[in-house]
Structure formats: structure tokens, C-alpha cells
Chains A and B, each alone.
Chain A
Amino acid sequence: MSPHAKPRNERAWFLVLPVCVLVAFNALIPLMTVVNYSVQDIVSPDQRVFVGWEWFKSVLRDPELHAAFGRQVLFSVVVLAIELPLGLSVALCLPRGPGGSTWQASLCTVLIAMPLLVPWNVVGTIWQVFARTDIGLGGAVLTKLGVDYNYALDPVHAWGTVVVMDVWHWTPLVVLLCYAGLRAIPETYYGAAAVDGASRWAVFRYIELPRLSGVLTIGVLLRFMDSFVIYTEPFVLTGGGPGSSTTFLSQHLSTLAVGQFDLGRASAFSLIYFLPILIVCYVFYTLMTREERS
């Protein structure tokens, strides 16, 4: 060994151990269990048959899954298309005094953040009551206005209600993200824009939007993942109905796994379910890190 070689000390690996244990119990072991289940037919705890790709094949051919997948994609696209522009517009309207926050701004952010503090099943319950045509504020008003509204019977109404509920619940997150991003833009940029004679639109297009691209990417990512695995709120509000019109992938999965206790099929399903999320996250992560590098 040359005298200049650094002394090697492998004990540092012990410091990584807690994380390894955590990740193992949190992610790796459950995931591997699911993989294990997905290739077996489990009749009872001590009676299992290896079936190979059979579950995957049958799940992929399942028309109910196709329908649920279609609904899921549509739902994610719709809520993203509403929540991002809406959240951004609201954030742009919030007061941004120069040199620190004003009490108006603080009050607005607290009020806007309220829906985020509500437990998810309570969100479903709130909207269930809200949408009732006899005593619910929203439902009763619609009925009074002459709309033949009934979310429990009409799939379109059920869809509308679920989407509006999600918008109410999650737009605040986008607002807060965008607001934080806007607050981080130095005052100098607005000064320079004023000197250059930029219109309000040009300020938005060339200063605010480029500087928000980071938080908007995070917003899209978070909202996509959350909306793609949405379970509690529609389950409480509509129970997936009427028919299966608001049954999304996660609810379909839980019916398989917990309802029918069809573990092999459900495991194969959840692995397939995992795939689009993984791909989208990977694409976004690559995009984001490339932005930072340039």
C-alpha cells in the first residue's frame, strides 16, 4: 500500500443499515411477496400451485380491467387538465406584496390549504352529504335550479361529482406549489420587465411560466400519481357506481384482493398497475433532472 492511499474504513456501511432495513420492510419484501403470489394459485395457506404467467395473461384479457383502466386514465387526464390551470390561476391572483408576506396573503393560503387537512374518507362523506338532493347544499341547489341531478343513478352526474370533489380536494396543493414558486421569483425580474415595457401576458409567458416549470412538473407528477391510485374518496362517495361507472383501478384491485380473496390474480394485477406509474415517474424524473443540468 502506498503511503498516500486513504485508509479504508468499511464501518460507514453500518450507517446505511437503518435505511436498508426500512426500505426492505417498507418496499422490497412486500413487493417480492406480491411477485411471489402472482405466479402461484393459492387455494389455502398450505396448498399452492405454481402457475407461471397464467394470472398475468388472464388479467390482461379481463374486459373489466380494460374498462377500469380506461376510466382511470380519463380521470387522471381530466383532473390534471382542470387542477393545474386552475391552481396556477388562483396562485397568480393571490396577493404578493413586495418584501415579505402580508396578513392577507397568509390568510388566503391558510384558507386555501383547508381541504388538504381533511382526512380522505371524510372528504368522501362531506361530498356525499353535499351532493344529496334533499339536504345537501350542492345537490339541493342544483335541484332547485331545475337540474335533474342524481349522482347515485346517473353515471355522468356521478363522474362530475367525483371530478369536482377531487378538484376541490387537490387544487389547493397546486395553488400552494405555484404560489411558493411565484414568491421565489426575485422582484428584480418584474422591475426589468417593467423597464422593457413588457405586457402582463409577456411577464407571465417569459418570466413566471419558465420560473414555475419546476414546481409545475412536481405538481403534475404528484397529481398524476395521486389521481392514478385514487381510492378512498370515490369509494365513500359513490362506492364505484352507479354500475361500475366510477370504479377505478384501485377499487377494482381491492375487490379482487380483499373482496374475492383472489390473491394470485390480484398480485398480477397490482404488478401491472405499478407499471404505468413507474414509467410516468421515470419520464418525469428524467425530464426534471435534465432541466436542472442544462
Chain B
Amino acid sequence: MATIELSGICHRYPGTPDFALQPTDVTCEDGQTYALLGPSGCGKTTLLGTISGLLRPAAGRVLFDGRDVTQLETRQRNVAQVFQFPVVYDTMSVYDNLAFPLRNRWLAPQDVDERVRAIAVLLDLDTDLKRRARGLPADAKQRVALGRGLVREDVAAVLLDEPLTAVDPKTKWELRSKLREVHAELAPTLIYVTHDQNEALTVADRVFVMNAGRIVQEGTPQELFEHPAHTFVARFIGSPGMNIVACELAGASVRVAGRAFSLNERAAALGARGSAELGVRPELARLGEQAVPDSHAARVVRVEDFGRHRIVTVDLGGERFAVKVADGLLPREGTSLWLSLPAEHIRLFANGEALR
């Protein structure tokens, strides 16, 4: 296991004008789990490729425990990678599949056997060891692929590139918890690429949110949820994402479409004035039938029922807010409700960046 450091890594695919990966610095500490989260095409797989060596970066250095491996081939780098679609060696048995990375490195047969059996037990493959890999269902294939990644004790990092895309939702959940279990047991440095925030937030200790070839924020799942550094992160994390509306700052209060909402002391202490953007999580905004202090009447535009909760979209003088409503409130479209934005949950952004 190793600490992985990328400094100034960038990459451009031949024949394309833009960098798929802008110059990026990343540090992944030994034994931690990280997620690279972002929409399709944001450069997360490219970033992973430069770590595994399947891609040679245009510039920058890759360091494993301080050792420069930028020029090394994948097979010399000692990383494990699990791909989006399960790769198994069809003609081999499950046992041989798991033993393959070890045998390629000339491990003694009894050590191979020991490792393979240990990993097979961990991934519930012990009863399938003699089966041919070809006939396995997709999730078992992915477990075999995962097993090949985890079977080597000395890997610098285990890289997972959207490994749960090809499996059905129920197995996805199982594999995800299996992955956490495995991490608790073996504690490899784990880097997990995904576009699914639930996956990223449940698997990883720290999340890198990527957009358009750069890392826009790094933090724990809670930090990303509560203090997005960027309107992109604010919108991307959460389902639905944070409400972002134009606002007018005036010291201790903020006006949205002419209606004033108070700010808490921290935001007021910024003393910012002028145009900005206000963000509030749908889970944290409030709707009520009675007026309360600091609330304003808003027209209900749309009500979406998700069973356990409803997402109500309201219109406040032209600005739209989505609000998550869980209790007995049954708003009808076209009626008016009172919208209040709790001061401690209001986030302010200027030019896309969070005001702090």
C-alpha cells in the first residue's frame, strides 16, 4: 500500500483540442478510500488511467510513496484496477483467474493457493472456484475481477473504474457493502471512480468532485453536502441538487426577487453587498401553510410524489425553489405556501465560488 501523489498531471487525447484533464494535483493517503465523482466525460477515468499507467500523461509526475513512476509501464507499477465491464479470462476457472496476477509474478504455489482461498472466502467465491469463469453471471464476474485486484498483497492502490455499472441494483448494494467489508479487512488505498453520488458518498472517506477536466472540490461527503465550494458541486451533489437563485446581498440580509431573508452571523460578518447567488438545500428549506417570521408567500408550480416524500417546486417572484416535504403537507399546484429559508442553511456564491 502506498500514498499516491499526482503533481501537475494533465492529459489530452490525440486529435482533440481540449485537455481531457487539466493540470491537477491530487494526494491519496495510504489506506484511505477516495472517490472521484463527476458527470460523464469530466476526466475521472483519464485521471485513473494516469495512476494505473494505462495512459501516459502529457505532463506532470506520478509518485508512489515519493517514488517517481511516471515513466513506468502498468505492469511495473504494481497497481490493481477493476474496470467498468467485468473482465474475466473466459477459458480459465475462477481459481485460475484469481491466481493469474500472482502466477504472473512468480509467487510460490503454496502462497498463491493461500491468497486465492482467502480472497475467495472474502468475496463469496469459495464455492465457485472450480467453475469456468465464462458461465458466471455478471455480478460474479465482477467479483472475480475485484478478487484479481485484491489478491495481491503488495499493490500500491486498488483502482475501481465504475465497477458497479454492469450489475443490477440489488447486487450493486451487496457488492458495495462487500467492498467496504474488504476495505476494513485489507485496508488498501482505494480510488473509486463513479458518476453516482450515492456510490461515492457511501464508499469513500473523501470525495474529489470533478468537472470539465478539473477537481472542483475535495472533501468528506458531509462537507460536500453542507459546504459546497462551487455552484457545480452544490447542484451535482444531492437529489435534487441545491437550489441556486440570483440574490441581492445587503449586509445582514439577502433579497431574492425583492423578498428579504435574514442571514446568520457568519454570513452577515462577510459584509458582502451587491449581486450574488443564494443556495439552499431542498431538504433544508421549509414550506408551511401559516406565515412565520421571515417567510414569504410562494406559488406551488409542481408537486412530484416519491412515495416517502414529495418534492414541491415553488415560484417566488420568478425564482424557483425545490423543497423536499416529508410530513402531512399536501400542497396543490397553483396554491400559495409560505417559504422560509433557515439562516444557518443559506449558502452564498459569487461567480460560482462559495463566499466564505
Contacts and interface: CB of A to CB of B under 8 A. Distances in A.
A and B bound? Answer: yes
A294 B134 CA distance: 8
A288 B42 CA distance: 42
A195 B104 contact: no
Interface string B89-101: 1111000000011
Interface residues of B, number: 26
A192 B149 CA distance: 9
A194 B73 contact: yes
User: Among the interface residues B73, B89, B148, which one has the most CB atoms of the partner chain A within 10 A?
Assistant: B89
20 contacts: A191-B81, A191-B83, A191-B87, A192-B83, A192-B145, A194-B75, A195-B52, A195-B79, A195-B101, A195-B149, A196-B148, A197-B101, A197-B104, A197-B105, A198-B75, A202-B100, A206-B91, A206-B92, A210-B89, A210-B90
A195 B49 CA distance: 11
Contacts of A191: 52, 54, 74, 81, 83, 87
A192 B144 CA distance: 12
A202 B89 CA distance: 11
Contacts of A197: 75, 101, 104-105
A111 to B, nearest CB: 25
Interface string B108-148: 00000000000000000000000000110000000001001
B10 interface: no
Nearest to B134: A294
B85 interface: yes
Contacts of A207: 89
A274 interface: no
B48 to A, nearest CB: 11
B104 A192 contact: no
Interface in A182-224: 186, 188-189, 191-192, 194-199, 202, 206-207, 210-211
B75 A186 contact: no
Interface of B: 52-54, 73-75, 79-81, 83-85, 87, 89-92, 100-101, 104-105, 134-135, 145, 148-149
Contacts of B53: 194
Nearest to A209: B91
A181 B314 CA distance: 56
Contacts of A202: 100, 104
A206 B89 contact: yes
B74 A194 contact: yes
A206 B83 CA distance: 18
A97 to B, nearest CB: 10
A199 B101 CA distance: 11
Contacts of B87: 188-189, 191-192
Contacts of B54: 191, 194-195
Interface in A272-294: 294
A181 to B, nearest CB: 14
Given A195-B80, A294-B135, A186 B100 contact: no
Contact of A186 (B85, B92, B104, B149): B85
A44 B100 CA distance: 72
Nearest to A194: B74
Contacts of B105: 197
A196 B100 contact: yes
Contacts of B73: 194
A197 B89 CA distance: 14
Contacts of A188: 83-85, 87
Nearest to B87: A192
A211 B100 CA distance: 18
Given A191-B74, A195-B80, 17 more contacts: A186-B85, A188-B85, A189-B87, A191-B81, A194-B53, A195-B54, A195-B75, A195-B79, A195-B81, A196-B100, A196-B104, A196-B148, A197-B75, A197-B101, A202-B104, A210-B91, A294-B134
